[in-house]
Amino acid sequence: MNEMRSIRPDIIRKIAPELCPVRTVIAHIGDKWSTLILSQLMKQPHRFGELRRAVPDISQRMLTQTLRDLQRDGYVEREVFATKPPSVEYRLTELGRSLVGSLQHLVDFAFTNHDRVLQARARFDAENG
C-alpha cells in the first residue's frame, strides 16, 4: 500500500546526502565564513577588496572559495566591471536575503542566550572533568 515506507531517511542520507534539504542549506551556515560574508553583504553590495577589509581575518583563498560556493547555490550575484584594474561586485540575491532572514532568528537566539550557554558550560565542566 505504501511503497515509500521502506525508504528510510538514514539510508537516503548515506547514499545521497545532497538530497537532504537541511544539509544543503546548513552547509553554508556551518562553515566558518559564510554567515559573516552574508551578513556583510546584507548591509550593501561589496567589492572583493571591501569584503576583505570588512572581514580582515579571512584569507584570500577562503574569501574566494566562500563567495564562489554562495554564488553557485544562488545566494550571491557576481558582477564584473571592465575597469582598469578590473573590479568585481558581489551582492545578495532575493534568495540570499531570504536565507539571511531565516537565519536571523538563530542569531537572535544566540545573542539572547549566550550567557545561559556559557553558564551551563561552566557548570558542566565543574561537575565533570
Residue for grid cell 560556493: 69
Phi/psi at 69 (5° precision): -65, -40
Interface with its own copies, residue 8, by CB under 8 A: yes
Q: Which residue lies nearer to DNA by CB, 27 or 100?
A: 27
By C-alpha distance, which of 104, 96, 91 is closest to 41? 91
Residue for grid cell 565564513: 33
Could you tell me the smallest distance in angstroms from the CB atom of residue 20 to DNA? 13
Interface with its own copies, residue 55, by CB under 8 A: yes
Give me the residues that bind DNA (CB under 7 A), please. Answer: 31-33, 47-50, 57-62, 64, 67-68, 78, 85-88
